Amino acid sequence: MTENKKFAVIGGGSWATAIAKMLCVNLDEMSWYMRNEAAIEHIKKYKHNPNYLSSVEFDVKKLKLTSDINKAVAYADYIIFAIPSAFVGAELEKLTVSLENKIIFSAIKGIVPETSLIVGEHFHVKYDIPYYNIGVITGPCHAEEVAMERLSYLTIACGDPDKAKLVAKNLSGNYIKTKITDDIIGTEYAAMLKNIYAIAAGIAHGLGYGDNFQSVLMSNGIREMKKFIRKVHRMKRNINDSAYLGDLLVTGYSVFSRNRMFGNMIGKGYTVKSAMMEMSMVAEGYYAAKSAYKLNQAYGAKTPIIDAVHSILYEGQDAKAVFKKLTDKLD
């Protein structure tokens, strides 16, 4: 395994900031692309991102900050994408340099709207990147707790174990523990689906359901996730591992979960538009609900929770009435 590889982070949000923080511990230098020029100048001057995780202080001598995605991609051997899935297509359209021989890792928990594919599949299909050069970084891990240096766990998925180990090594630290897996497709779908279940948990909370119901909802959620992923990509996996069940639980219950927050607003009576305007960050589960529902028309997995969230967000059905029906479908 070759050690001296160059890394770039693509994105300027909380998760990108958390990943940059982790990498900076282990690397002498890295590239970091973000669109916001003002944020770049602020980091150079004050050593922290003014918009996300502002408590994190960077050694700016280690950062090659740029608002040109082509510079970041040209610099790096390993490129970690950490931008909302809804914006992946637009960002990649800016590329003029080749992705050939680049190692792509996705820290994105969503579906690319233009192709209805998870990010790894999108890079494989649209940019002809082989699966052994594609990986996934998943939780259970909230960026906010990384900023506070609370003990967190990451799962690094890649078909090539040496590449997974290299990324895991460079993200590891005193408060970050990592493990690797070869389940690229399953972990990425799980990361997308758990956001939908977190929205469901938020809606339930907003409607006034208690912890007893939430536990049943999450129990059904992990079983529904297992059915969906098995239809998409059948292989031996333990759905109770942290990358699946753990990530679902932290997203469904945490006060830091933007998807739960979004769902809570919907449950309290906000319209989708007003809830999105209220939040300063993207709730990936909103886009995922549409994509997962559409994908499942072909797969035919039994997914009452996904169906319920989709009907509320995209069909304008009343949340209270939908959840009353949903309670009879859970066990």
Q: Mind telling me the catalytic residues?
A: 194
d(CA 282, CA 33): 19
Q: Which residue has the tokens 């059904």?
A: 220
Distance CA 53, CA 144 (A): 7
The one-letter amino acid code at 27 reads: L
CB-side exposure of 40: number of CA atoms within 13 Å?
14
Residues ≥6 apart with Cβ < 8 Å to 12: 33, 34, 35, 36, 39, 49, 51, 52, 83
Whether 76 contacts 31, CB under 8 Å? yes
Q: How far apart are CA 177 and CA 87, in angstroms?
A: 29
Residues in Cβ contact with 4 at an 8 Å cutoff, skipping those fewer than 6 apart: none
φ/ψ of 270, rounded to 5, equals -65, 145
| Interatomic CA distance for residues 69 and 11, integer angstroms | 10
Q: What are the phi and psi torsion angles at 118 (to 5°)?
A: -65, 160
Prior bond to 140 cis, omega within 30?
yes
